[in-house]
Structure 1
Amino acid sequence: MSGLLTILLPTFGLIGLGYAAAQARLLTERASDGLTEYIFVIAIPALIFSTIASSHPSGENPWGYWISYFSGVAVAWISAIITARRVFGRNKQTAAIHGFAAAQSNTVLVGVPVILNAYGNQGATPLFLLLAIHLPIMMTVASILIETSVTGTGRIDLVKRLAKTIFTHPIVLALIAGYLAKVTAFAPSGQIKDVLDTLAATASPCALISMGLALKRYGLKGDVGPVLSISFQKLLVHPFIVWVLAFHVLHVQPVWAGVAVLFAAMPSGVNAYLIAARYKSGERATSAAIALSTALSIFTVSLWLWVLGVV
């Protein structure tokens, strides 16, 4: 428990810093909007590009591992969308954001230290293999779903919006650029690498401070139902589906299966709020769900560690 607190407290510290800055009126709503824009347009794309361009193939292609994890993603995402639409009456765009929040894991701030502490070097290969594709896939799918969820869109308009998303969206462009760099063996080096690394390093802390600003702006009250639903899907449904498939259906190698379950058991990632803020839809629910799921994860991650026989 103390180990988890040590990992989670810095996350809450940055969120609290953003909240305190807003409470003291040191940062305004305009600053919050500008910070979110910077993260989405510059910091996150730099992180994606540098991660993909500098990655090395592991030689592993564990289909059971992929199927187990992303099946859990699909179930949590779809379930959250259906709940948002039918139970809480949200529109398609907001429901897509709720689904993303229920399926997107906080991998860097919480997932990496928890998993490496649990499995050590044995867990490093499956962890970083999944980490390398998790953010690009999740952000791309979320952006495309949200962009194409506008009501009254015909087929031609839908194709146009999708094409615009692919060729102008900073996340998608970073993904494409990263893979082109990888294919052409262009690994950033020297001053270019230093600039990219500096920008990428700002993504997580700036995002957490931005979320703290959002909590002051939107508060934790209201949207209690959606917040509880997102947290439930993320902390229990997602890892449960992965656990069933990895251990009892596809019989994935135990360490790899455990890594997949813990990866899925992480709280909602801050990227859900960045997406919500970008499209100005569902900010209150996503910011509160990230904070609540992070707090509850102290207990739920402990539960999954016990289920996996790690503690």
Structure 2
Amino acid sequence: MTALGIILPVFGLILIGWVASVSGLISDKVSDGLSEYVFSIAVPALIVGTLSRPGLTGEIAWSYWFSYFGGAALAWAIGSLIGIRREGVGKRGAILHGFAASQSNTIFVGVPTILHAYGEEGAFPLFMLLAVHLPLMMGAATFLIEADGERSLLQRIGGLGVVLARNPIFVALAIGLAMRGFGLSLSGIPKNLVEMISASASTCALIALGAGLKRYRVLHDLPGAGVVAGLKLVLHPLAVWVLAFHVFTMPAAYAGVAVLFAAMPVGVNAYLLANRYKSETGLVSAAVLISTLFAALTTTAWLFVLGRA
């Protein structure tokens, strides 16, 4: 499988979703509904079905976590420092700069791309990283933003726990890991249903992402958004590549999954967090759009570097 064979279907579906939305072929309501379906049903079904599948084996070493989150921490720190130096950007804005520079679009782009590139050997490290990535990154961002608020530490931790407990992705990961731990697997009609739903996850996710790109404002603070996108697409995966391949030791598939995970564009969660706290919404939304557009080129380059071309 060549790099173009991996990238063209992924970003081709994003383009189809964008054209359909811009042309009015599908409405914003359809885009919203499709996104909710992907997030609440399709990807959770894919996660449960994959993690509970017999024969899926793997072990995660600490070097894997250090490689990915070490790179994320570097991108976050530099993004925040750049944000602090920009005029009119407060503490919350600087945190969101860093968060956007290190928050990967895992559900809509990461899962389809990595599964296409690494297949079965990449499934276990992918979903293990996804399991830790969601609570750790969102939890750290929320905690830092609210650190100077009136809520106590216990209240902030409790609030984060409630948010995660209501997150379909996190719940699916918990169910899949529990089934894996107890040696349970799906069979019969439940297995067929989960497989049918799982088969729609990648296509629907990419179409939904493309349709949603119409809403992001690319002209808002273009230089600042370009810096955030550059940190996300270049610095983050480069730092992970150095750590995974030249500092620590791990299976090649694990190292490659970590790098590709880091190479994904700015995640939609960054925009949702900026919108929630009413800070740097325009810059983050523009960074989501710019990074998604350029990710087709940078991801292709990383596939060549990783030998998956």
Q: Shorter-normalised TM-score: what interval?
A: 0.7 to 0.9
Q: 1:101 to 1:219 in 2, by over 3 A?
A: same
Counterpart mapping for 1:2-81 below 5 A:
3-54=2-53, 56=55, 58=57, 60-81=59-80
| Correspondence for 1:154 among 151, 156, 160 | 151
Q: Secondary structure at the match of 2:169?
A: helix
Contact 2:13 2:206 in 1 (8 A): yes
Corresponding residue for residue 234 of structure 2: 236
| Correspondence for 1:139 among 134, 137, 142 | 134
Runs of 4+ in structure 1 off by over 6 angstroms are: none
TM-score normalised according to structure 1 size? 0.76
Q: 1:40 to 1:226 in 2, by over 3 A?
A: farther
C-alpha distance in 2 between matches for 1:230 and 1:248: 26
Q: Secondary structure at the match of 1:27?
A: coil
C-alpha distance in 2 between matches for 1:230 and 1:160: 31
The offset of 1:189, in angstroms, is 1.6
Corresponding residue for residue 263 of structure 2: 266
- Residue ranges of structure 2 left out of the alignment (5+ in a row): none
Corresponding residue for residue 101 of structure 1: 103
Contact 2:64 2:258 in 1 (8 A): no
RMSD: 3.6
C-alpha distance in 1 between matches for 2:158 and 2:63: 36
Q: Secondary structure at the match of 2:103?
A: helix
C-alpha distance in 2 between matches for 1:73 and 1:110: 19
Q: Secondary structure at the match of 2:292?
A: helix
Does 29-38 or 279-288 show the bigger shift? 279-288
Q: Secondary structure at the match of 1:187?
A: coil
The offset of 1:201, in angstroms, is 2.4
Contact 2:240 2:262 in 1 (8 A): no
Corresponding residue for residue 204 of structure 2: 206
Q: 1:229 to 1:49 in 2, by over 3 A?
A: farther
Does 18-27 or 235-244 show the bigger shift? 235-244
| 1:159-183 deviation per Cα after TM superposition (whole angstroms, max 9, x unaligned) | 3312312322222211221222222
The offset of 1:133, in angstroms, is 0.8
Counterpart mapping for 1:284-299 below 5 A:
284-285=285-286, 287-297=288-298
Contact 1:18 1:212 in 2 (8 A): yes
Number of matched residues?
Answer: 296
